Amino acid sequence: MSSFPVTRLRRLRRTSGIRNLVRETRLDLDDFVMPLFVGPEAFTNDDLPGLGRHSVESVVAEAEELTRLGVRAVILFGIPDEKDEEGSGAYDDDGVVQRTLRALDGGELVLLTDVCLCEYTSHGHCGVIRDGEVDNDETLELIARTAVSHVEAGADAVCPSDMMDGRVAAIREEVPDTPIIAYSAKYASAFYGPFREAAESAPAFGDRRGYQMDPANVREALRECDQDVAEGADVLMIKPALPYLDVIRAARERFDLPLAAYNVSGEYAMVKAAAAKGFLDERQAAVESLTAIKRAGADLVVSYWTKELASWL
Ligand code: PBG
């Protein structure tokens, strides 16, 4: 290998034309998924535009606008009229996500759905509570029912985010032909704060550390991925993204399945808040963050910036 002065790495950085030629990672809207929240009433969120709320009526116009801007895919989250102990709004054939799927049917967007009970349970946990704990095996049936009702209403792919053991297998048994994008390594993270406010899904007692992963672990994330592959997942997801780039890289190196990363609400909110204070430039920080997530090894990225990204690219 030659060294300085024969080698001068700055030669390839001299003009934007040359930098473009040798760039290793590019952002392409085809790889991005926009989250959409649908509930009883629509409202905008001025501080965090990507975390506003749609109604089943208003989401149709939003989907058309996203399509016009070049966005290819959305992931739907529902906030029901009423919550109960068993999260029955999640698997109600007339539930908010099911009605949204029917309303968006025939459009061009790829429709993904988040499959979980936390937005639908009165206690805010991702499964049913028995003896003060989230009961894994009883929850599985409800998660599978939720996925089936989404598929029947027109979901193109389902994304279980509850972190129960065995959920991918439980869904796979019921829906042989639908892609499962599994939130395989979902950490018990502080970065979900703004989402929980938008989706009204903060746990009423305790926390999610009994089912979501410990932020300290990476080998365990690979075990989670292994399980999901064995159970029939089609895509593995790591969540959050920026504080877990090493996990994305480790999963990329171990598995040949497509890999997704979820650039979560707190990652988005941090940059928005810093930009509002004038500490940094939002667009540059967002593009740099999303590029880093792709560089780490993600094939597809769920991000609240997807809509804004469409106008930036
Ligand atoms: C549902 C779910 C959550 C997120 C996605 N799906 C919240 C949670 O687990 O508490 C968080 C997404 C975000 O913060 O953007 N279980």
pLDDT value of residue 1: 83
pLDDT value of residue 198: 86
Q: How many angstroms separate the CA atoms of 185 and 171, rounded?
A: 17
**Annotation marks residue 307 as catalytic:** no
pLDDT value of residue 200: 85
196-208 burial, b if ≥16 CB within 10 A, otherwise e?
bebbebeeeeeeb
- From 125, 164, 201, mutation site for ligand 1 pocket: most ligand atoms within 8 A of C-beta: 201
Q: How many angstroms separate the CA atoms of 87 and 191, rounded?
A: 24
Residue nearest to atom 6 of ligand 1 (CA): 161
- Distance in Å, CA 193 to ligand 1 centroid: 9
- Distance in Å, CA 120 to ligand 1 centroid: 13
- From 120, 163, 187, 192, mutation site for ligand 1 pocket: most ligand atoms within 8 A of C-beta: 192
pLDDT value of residue 37: 97
Per-residue pLDDT of the chain (313 residues; tens, 9 = 90+): 899 999 999 999 999 999 999 999 999 999 999 999 999 999 999 999 999 999 999 999 999 999 999 999 999 999 999 999 999 999 999 999 999 999 999 999 999 999 999 999 999 999 999 999 999 999 999 999 999 999 999 999 999 999 999 999 999 999 999 999 999 999 999 999 999 988 888 999 999 999 999 999 999 999 999 999 999 999 999 999 999 999 999 999 999 999 999 999 999 999 999 999 999 999 999 999 999 999 999 999 999 999 999 999 9
Q: Is 226 left (phi over 0), alpha (psi -120 to 50) or beta?
A: alpha
Which residues have CB under 6 Å of ligand 1? 114, 116, 118, 126, 161, 192, 195-196, 201, 264-265
- Distance in Å, CA 199 to ligand 1 centroid: 9
**Annotation marks residue 239 as catalytic:** yes
pLDDT value of residue 197: 86
Task: Output the pTM of the full model.
Answer: 0.97
pLDDT value of residue 108: 96
Q: How many angstroms separate the CA atoms of 259 and 236, rounded?
A: 5
| Marked catalytic residue, from 83, 186, 294, 307 | 186
Rounded to 5°, the CA angle 128-134-138 comes to 55
Ligand 1, closest atom to CA 161? 16
Residue nearest to atom 8 of ligand 1 (CA): 192
Ligand 1, closest atom to CA 203? 10
Could you tell me which residues come within 8 angstroms of residue 133 by beta carbon, excluding any fewer than 6 positions away?
210
- Distance in Å, CA 12 to ligand 1 centroid: 41
Q: How many angstroms separate the CA atoms of 208 and 216, rounded?
A: 15
